[in-house]
A = this chain, B = another copy of it.
Amino acid sequence: MKELANLMNYRSDVKVVDATLRDGGLVNDFYFTDEFVRDLYHANIKAGVDYMEFGYKASREVFDETKFGKWKFCKDEDIREIVGENDTDLKIAVMADVGRCDYKTDIINRKDSPIDMIRVATYLNTIPTAVDMIEDAVNKGYEVSCNIMAISNAQESDLKVALDILGKSPVNIFYIVDSFGSLYPEQIARITDIYMEFAKKYNKKLGIHAHNNQQLAFANTIEAVGDGVDYLDGTYAAMGRGAGNCAMELLLGFLRNPKYNVYPVIQFIEKHMLKLREEGVVWGYDLQYLMTGLLNQHPRTAIQFTKDKRTDYSEFYKEIVVQD
């Protein structure tokens, strides 16, 4: 149980990261209108959000540019088109996936870029490449986080080895990622303890990125903030892959720092997110995501179930139970 003071008061170290374009882009292949992106940028500024993740720096060798919206690639000039010189308190982030990013060429020096932070996403088995990407980005002047994915399937001992390697790298932030939405708050607390051990040893900050398969993305995020995690990912209307993420409107409603303001988030959702849903873009909690979360599986089967507009949940359950 956390202290009452933590609910009434706030830690000024807490930072809110809007991941709507990046995780939400996985739902609509990054086809957001410029108006959407511009309004989101201004809503984040008004809401007091600390970082806005614009999307991926995906390799144009690996992915066909004609098959995705521009925020899968986040060219500096496209970001610049939205933010200009970004003379605001809102910092700009992009995600760089290990093995799917030409970071040496596509990420230029920070002083010439509108981007402030590179979020390196890796699995446990690609940590050495992640370290190379981290060093590259730090050398170019960026703040850098490392998001270790799929940890709910990992051995604790492997995770500790990874955190020790990352601790020795110049990365600024370790991110706890509940990729499958399978973790309960008690588990988040224990995982945070492990991350915190290495964060303290190596003077790093912690972040959390949650998924809503079991309607726990927000609950897990506030569990983590009570345990000392500073960087909190949220998305507007919880838009994100599969069951979606921690809803920004819930998160800002919870945080007591007066710099945060939920009202611009509500306005944005009213103007843009209802329309997206009407256009047939589908995300959010549903039984198929609960099931993959419960079974600690990647949600890809559930996403396909959603795309196929299936509603035979009990048949799906039998399919994925057998699959394991």
Mark A residues whose CB is within 8 Å of B: 1-2, 4, 6-7, 184-187, 189-190, 212, 214-219, 222-223, 226, 247, 249-250, 253-254, 262-263, 266-267, 269-270, 274, 287, 290-291, 294, 311-314, 317
A233 CB, nearest partner CB in chain B, Å: 15
Q: Which residue in B214, B217, B311 is a CB contact (below 8 Å) of A250?
A: B214
Given known contacts A254-B184, A314-B266, A216 and B219 CB-to-CB distance under 8 angstroms: yes
Complex Cα–Cα for A290 and B251 (A): 11
Provide 7 A-B residue pairs closer than 8 Å at the C-beta atoms, listed in order of the A residue.
A7-B186, A7-B187, A185-B222, A215-B219, A250-B290, A262-B294, A267-B313
Q: Which residue in B4, B6, B184, B313 is a CB contact (below 8 Å) of A270?
A: B313
Number of copies: 2
Q: Are the C-beta atoms of B184 and A222 separated by less than 8 Å?
A: yes
Q: With a CB–CB cut-off of 8 A, which chain B residues contact A185? A: 185, 219, 222-223
Complex Cα–Cα for A311 and B274 (A): 8
Q: Are the C-beta atoms of A253 and B294 separated by less than 8 Å?
A: yes
A197 CB, nearest partner CB in chain B, Å: 15
A208 CB, nearest partner CB in chain B, Å: 15
